[in-house]
Structure 1
Amino acid sequence: MSSNFVASNQTRSLRACMVCSIVQTQQRFIRDGCPNCETFLDLTNHADSVQECTSQVFEGLITLADPGQSWVAKWQRLDGYVAGVYAVKVVGMVSGIPTFGVCDYTGLDRALPDEVQDNIEAAGVRYIPRDGSAQDDDT
């Protein structure tokens, strides 16, 4: 069984998925893809896609052992995902909308490719910005 947790000596190569915010090493994304988004991101064995759909710039880490039972997972909208380490906020863009507030990180305001955006939409996935700007519309 493969673990979605990251050893502390691998922090320099960590990246966060811009869709689900799971944090893995770049090599793990290339080797195994994203455990939550692989069906529509198709990252396995595609280093270019990993560069486009993940970010090295993120804030905070959350470790989830049982996302289905965790109030933190529900609060961060991670309760449908696999156990692992997740970023609290991820820098990046989807549909041309900055996903880190005003983006204090000059030059990092890149968007997911149009093809990836189309795949997300076709998969019926509701994109939730992982920058903390998402409003709770479940009420």
Structure 2
Amino acid sequence: MSEAPSAIIPPTKSKHLRACLLCSIIQTSTDFRAIGCPNCEEILQLKDNPDRILACTTSYYDGIIAVIDPESSWVARWQRTSKYARGMYAVRVKGRVPEDVEAELDSRGIKYRPRDQTDQD
């Protein structure tokens, strides 16, 4: 009897994954460096910026959600990712965006809601 394939991310890959502190998308550091954040790049400016990647992403997160069709997914609506790109998202991330990012969001009239689920309205 053969075992079913594991749905767990292989440990050799998972240690290189990081979650965006603003939208919670999960990518490798290499992907953040090459393409930035597909949802937040205009504000976070992660592309080709390793220091910014370390400040605006985290390797500390809980749970992973695969979002294939964001607009019709109830999970994406629950996670506030229904307007974001398809991808893998963390259920909860540990940490907050830097103060300059919060200030930028405030200047644009965008309310920052941390993804650690401490600010549930």
TM-score by length of 1: 0.74
Seen in structure 2, the aligned counterparts of structure 1 residues 33 and 123 have a Cα distance that, compared at 3 Å, is farther
Equivalent of residue 27 in structure 2, options 24, 29, 39? 24
Amino acid at match of 1:17: C
Deviations 1:35-83 (A, max 9, x none): 0000010000000000000001000000000110000000111111110
Larger Rg: 2
Structure 2: state its 5+ residue gaps.
Answer: 1-8
Amino acid at match of 2:50: A
Task: Judging by fraction of residues, say which structure has more helix.
Answer: 2
Would the aligned equivalents of 1:41 and 1:120 in 2 still touch at CA under 8 Å? Answer: no
Report the RMSD for the aligned CA atoms in angstroms.
Answer: 1.6
Show the counterpart of 2:104.
119
* Distance of 2:40 and 2:105 partners within structure 1: 9
Structure 1: state its 5+ residue gaps.
Answer: 1-6, 95-111
Equivalent of residue 67 in structure 2, options 64, 69, 77? 64
Would the aligned equivalents of 1:23 and 1:87 in 2 still touch at CA under 8 Å? Answer: yes
* Distance of 2:110 and 2:25 partners within structure 1: 16
Amino acid at match of 1:115: D
Would the aligned equivalents of 1:41 and 1:119 in 2 still touch at CA under 8 Å? Answer: no
Would the aligned equivalents of 1:33 and 1:43 in 2 still touch at CA under 8 Å? Answer: yes
Q: How many residues align?
A: 112
Show the counterpart of 2:119.
134
Would the aligned equivalents of 2:102 and 2:112 in 1 still touch at CA under 8 Å? Answer: no
Show the counterpart of 2:38.
35
Q: Percent identity?
A: 43
